[in-house]
Structure 1
Amino acid sequence: MTFKSSLLLLSSTVLLSLTGCVSHANLDTTTNALNSVTAQWYIGDQGKRFDRIEYQFAQPLQPQTLAGLKLKLVGTFHDGQSAKEHNSPNRRVELPVTHIDWVGKSLVVDVQDFDTKGLLGIEVDSNLAQLTTSHLVYKTHIRSVDDFVQHQFVAKDGTTLSYWLYLPKDAQPAPLMVWEHGGGEVLASSYPRANLEANRGATAWVESGHPTAVLSVQFPENYSFGIADIPDQFAQMQRYNTAQYELIQSLVNAKLIDTKRIYISGASSGGGAGLRFIMQYPKLFAAAVIIAAKDTIVPLSDKYHLAYRFDAPISALRLAEEDYESSYQEMENALSDTNITGVPIWFAQAQNDRICTPYTSIMMFDILQKQGAKANHHTLYSDQEMAASHVPLNHFSWVPTLNNPKIIEWVYQQHR
């Protein structure tokens, strides 16, 4: 995006304005023009964060460039509904500069990283005259996310998928990780590319150190709890899975993907959808990481009032013995229809998840073990472990899971 202004567009709602002081730092503006400014973002555990600004000059910088250089960054944040109710002004917060350095033609300014939720703009005040130049190419870059390319795929039955694909350079055919996003990232209630930006579900695999392709479809809308008892929604999920299967086969046919190393991971609604994808195509995947899965196999949450019980006592999250036994039998029956014991699955969830009950993963893990699965794992995080991950809700068990190198390495050890 290019425009002649002293404002840098960071996103649809965030502006970085560059303002200058009276005195100048030691840089000859007539011989070394400033070509561009790049605002660097990355994806943290709970979404986009900001940590760096890079200035690109026409010529390599000299050591004296930093002599007398001063920079001050101030962020403006919108406080949301509370600000409207109390007629409060937006918050202005100074953003500490942690390091300034130069590499070749680049001046790099590291900032103490911060969550960008509510960020309206960042003002950069400096005694370097070029920061106010109005003839620049301004850019925004989100690490890893901007390496994905958006596409559309039309399946044989006409089902159309909007998806993002990351392909590692010079590593084809590559392993493939399919990331199934949560219900909060569907297009109906979020924005395009939320499936890549809301958390590290997709970028964790790009940044794993393994040269991996990553595929993430962004679905139009979420499905209900207990989808197995909702015929129209269940049929739609199956159509999406069929379309994804055809999409993956197109990547295989293009020799981009290693057929022996196709993996799937998903959280919340994506975890539940991932389970159904595995059951529909049990010979496709070499391994799966299923996190905080929604109840797509046997209805539990609505039936027993286990979902969204934020203020209820822990006892309200537990099934009565007879309800557990009947649900367990239903799960056994459902899992007898297809054999998925050949797909190593690592189940992970908070033991006191107040949004998606952990009974789905608890029962599935136990039944699959009885059926002969030998490579599965099951992690139930305690309240203390979830608190140590600094998450707002116990449901966010993808945070400790995707930050666990043991789980990441386990995935890449699996082959069909």
Structure 2
Amino acid sequence: MQRRTFLRASVLGASTIAFTGSLWQGAALAAPAQNATGPYGPLGSADANGIQLPAGFTSQVVARSGQKVAGTSHTWHSAPDGGACFADGTGWIYVSNSEINPGGGASAIRFTSAGAVTSAYSILSGTRQNCAGGATPWNTWLSCEEVSRGYVYETYPFGGTAVRRPAMGQFKHEAAAADPVRKVIYLTEDETDGRFYRFIPATWGDLSAGTLQVMVAGTATSGSFTWANVPDPDGSPTYTRSQVSGAKVFNGGEGCYYASDTVWFTTKGDNRVWQVNLAGSTYELAYDDNLVTSGSAPLTGVDNITGSRYGDLYVAEDGGNMEICLITPDDKISPFLRVTGQSSSEITGPAFNPAGDRLYFSSQRGTSGSSSGGITYCVTGPFRV
């Protein structure tokens, strides 16, 4: 097992966030990430928003569920969940799902280059429990339904009518990550006996038709893998996860992120971050709370995951002590921020703006503990790029 490799980037497209840079690689054996002091130092006292941050970082509230987004006529959705940023000229757009069933969907907020809100609007409505998803290189947002035999919807942050994409399979979708090298979309499944999938479009950039495949591997936490076609992507009468013998089981698939021939995804049932090394067709653990050898495990309730321009991974907690934890390219893990006074909530939707100096995320149920009390934040500071 080689030391994890992180490119500071995998260019997804001209207008999506690009993560570019040099390769971090070593010949020494690597273990799952271990406790360490974070690159930004310890967390300070909670600020006026109840968020503990390292020195030099500040937070602001961007939107609140049930309230108009400041300066717009759009009411922000309940239960904000998975999100992503898209470059928009000199500014950007942040999109966010609504994990409500029924009546889910997704909304977008447009920002100037200075981070000021210029507009907010719906990009999807009338769907079911839209949890996470993923951005595509052609500037669409894949919004995933976290329900049995749920769908993926392709939405258009820059304008256009959302489209259901049944060829991507009907199962309890969680997150998606685009791989422009292999021209596939990776998909996680939020079931205790879930699987890890990839969708191969018949034409890259068009998700209306293609082939759904599932990872086939052994029961170990590392090894080699192959892909096998899922015979009936609609999951009826047999669920997609039960159609292929030898398909590897993952306990509660959550967030998914791609960069530099690698895809990472999280499984909440066992508090793990998995790393799939695509060039060599091998997989391993990037983090496992049971394998932290010094001190208590900093990351529990693993959920959404994203990466920075530098190559750091940011993993949000569903519960735990409401932290976003950071895993560095040399396999060190530490808390980056902690949200206080919101123990009945979860952190969702972490995403960086194109410059990599603003991190957006939500507290799904905020201080009220109700889906109607969600809060979306932005953290600004000296992120390493």
- TM-score, normalised by the number of residues in structure 2: 0.28
Using CA pairs under 8 Å that are at least 6 residues apart, name the structure with larger relative contact order, 1 or 2.
Answer: 2
Structure richer in strand, relative to its length = 2
More helix by proportion, 1 or 2?
A: 1
